[in-house]
Amino acid sequence: MSAEGVARAAGTLASNRVDGLVVIGGDGSLRGALELSRKTEALVVGIPASIDNDIFGTDETIGFDTAVNTAVDEIDKIRDTADSFDRLFVVEVMGRTRGFLALTIGLAVGAEMTLIPEVKYEMENIFRTFKEAKEKGKKSAIIVAAEGIGDTRRLADDLAKATGAEVRLTALGYTQRGGNPSARSRLLASLFADKALELLSAGQGSRVTALQGGEITSVGLEQSCGTEKPLDLNLMNLAKKLAM
């Protein structure tokens, strides 16, 4: 949000005598909410909603579970084709800078390999891994790759040349952002909404609703926007253990 936009929004709140505002969205929306909170007397509370699940302070964001379930359903279908035709599929999922979505999906579908922006990979290691798997009699595989790792088309082409396998690329794209929300996402949205109203009723602004260890709570808006959410690399290690 530009400085002009923030000023205009603050003016709109003041002219309409709005004393409380709930902003629902991802990183960009919450950063806009932070700037607005500095320019208005209205209380501003954020509700994290993003399929990327990259908002600091909350274990999960609204929409993340829905996106994971959508991708898992599609990849389960792709797995049937991979097994039937002895093919290797590279499945590109969303995640330009963070790998929360790809990592969770990779674990859930039992992907033979998961590639995320936070962990650098070497092509030679990928080639060697699948050559060894082929020598052991494994004829099909799934690679789940976050879009932020680079050119997945080139990855698929290089993998085909190096292994001699039939490799197909499937980009799930915006299918992950649509559809009916899962029961878990709906429940989380209701719990976050209730917490947001509780904060406003108590006169507390500049907060973000959060899920921490199964409990609904809140964190400071500035802290949430200014801190990078850590990725649990133990999950990456687990994915590698289960891969082959």
Residues annotated catalytic, as ranges: 52
Integer Cα distance of 45 and 24 in angstroms: 9
| Burial (CB count within 10 angstroms: exposed 0-12, middle 13-18, buried 19+), residue 85 | exposed
Residue type, 199: L
Dihedral pair phi/psi, residue 203, rounded to 5°: 75, 25
Q: What is the dihedral of CA 26, 97, 130, 107, to 10 degrees?
A: -30
Backbone angles phi, psi at 49, to 5 degrees: -135, 105
Distance from chain centroid for Cα 74: 17
E-assigned strand segments in the chain: 20-25, 43-48, 87-93, 113-115, 141-146, 166-171, 207-212, 215-220
Which 8-state DSSP code applies to residue 62?
A: B
d(CA 142, CA 108): 12
